[in-house]
Amino acid sequence: MQNLRDREKLADWDKSYLWHPFTQMQDWLTEDPVIIERGEGVYLIDIDGNRYLDGIASMWTNIHGHNHPKLNTALKTQLEKIAHSTLLGYSNIPAIELAKKLVEISPSGLNKVFFSDNGSTAVEVALKIAIQYWQHKGQKERTLFLHFDNAYHGDTVGAMSVGGVPAFHNTFKSLLFETIRVSAPETNSDKKKEDNSKLTTDLWLNSVERTLFENKGTVAGIILEPLIQGAGGMLVSPKGFLKGVEELARQHGTLLIVDEVMTGFGRTGRMWACEHEEVSPDILCTAKGLTAGYLPLAATLTTDDIFNAFLGEYRDLKTFFHGHTFTGNPLACAVALENIAIFERENLIEKIQETIQHLHDRLQKFYNLKHVGDIRSCGLAVGIELMKNPKTCDLYPFEEKVGIRVCNAALKRGVILRPLVNTIVLMPPLQITISELDSLLEITYKAIAEVTEQC
Ligand X SMILES: Cc1ncc(COP(=O)(O)O)c(C=O)c1O
Residues that bind ligand X (CB under 6 A): 118-120, 123, 152-154, 225, 230-231, 259, 261-262, 287
Shortest Cβ 96–ligand X spacing (Å): 23
Shortest Cβ 125–ligand X spacing (Å): 12
Which residue number, 94 or 119, has a Cβ lying nearer to ligand X?
A: 119
Which residue number, 128 or 388, has a Cβ lying nearer to ligand X?
A: 128
Which residue number, 228 or 443, has a Cβ lying nearer to ligand X?
A: 228
Shortest Cβ 151–ligand X spacing (Å): 8
Shortest Cβ 154–ligand X spacing (Å): 3
Shortest Cβ 330–ligand X spacing (Å): 20
Shortest Cβ 286–ligand X spacing (Å): 10
Gap between the Cα atoms of 128 and 327, Å rounded: 16
Question: 74 and 292 in contact (C-beta within 8 Å)?
Answer: no
Question: How would you classify the pairing of strands 283-286 and 255-259?
Answer: parallel
286 forms beta bridges with 299
Which residue number, 47 or 56, has a Cβ lying nearer to ligand X?
A: 56
Which residue number, 52 or 152, has a Cβ lying nearer to ligand X?
A: 152
Gap between the Cα atoms of 373 and 390, Å rounded: 4
Q: Which of 338, 126, 344, 385 is nearest to 234 (CA)?
A: 385
Shortest Cβ 47–ligand X spacing (Å): 26
Query: What's the burial of 57, exposed, middle or buried (CB within 10 Å: 0-12/13-18/19+)?
Result: buried
Which residue number, 259 or 374, has a Cβ lying nearer to ligand X?
A: 259
Which residue number, 286 or 302, has a Cβ lying nearer to ligand X?
A: 286
Which residue number, 156 or 215, has a Cβ lying nearer to ligand X?
A: 156
Shortest Cβ 364–ligand X spacing (Å): 26
Nearest residue (beta carbon) to ligand X? 119
Shortest Cβ 60–ligand X spacing (Å): 6
Which residue number, 119 or 419, has a Cβ lying nearer to ligand X?
A: 119
3-state SS, the chain, equals CCCHHHHHHHHHHHHHHCCCCCCCHHHHCCCCCCCEEEEEECEEEECCCCEEEECCHHHHCCCCCECCHHHHHHHHHHHHHCCCCCCCCCCCHHHHHHHHHHHHHCCCCEEEEEEECCHHHHHHHHHHHHHHHHHHCCCCCCCEEEEECCCCCCCCHHHHHCCCCHHHHHHHHHHCCCCEEECCCCCCCCCCHHHHHHHHHHHHHHHHHHHHHHCCCCEEEEEECCCEECCCCCEECCCCHHHHHHHHHHHCCCEEEEECCCCCCCCCCCCCHHHHHCCCCCEEEECHHHHCCCCCCEEEEEEHHHHHHCCCCHHHCCCCCCCCCCCCCHHHHHHHHHHHHHHHHCCHHHHHHHHHHHHHHHHHHHHHCCCEEEEEEECCEEEEEECCECCCCECCCHHHCHHHHHHHHHHHCCEECEEECCEEEECCCCCCCHHHHHHHHHHHHHHHHHHHHCC
Which residue number, 101 or 153, has a Cβ lying nearer to ligand X?
A: 153
Shortest Cβ 298–ligand X spacing (Å): 7
Gap between the Cα atoms of 41 and 341, Å rounded: 18
Question: 34 and 411 in contact (C-beta within 8 Å)?
Answer: yes
Shortest Cβ 283–ligand X spacing (Å): 13
Which residue number, 58 or 408, has a Cβ lying nearer to ligand X?
A: 58
Which residue number, 150 or 201, has a Cβ lying nearer to ligand X?
A: 150
Gap between the Cα atoms of 146 and 223, Å rounded: 6
Shortest Cβ 346–ligand X spacing (Å): 25
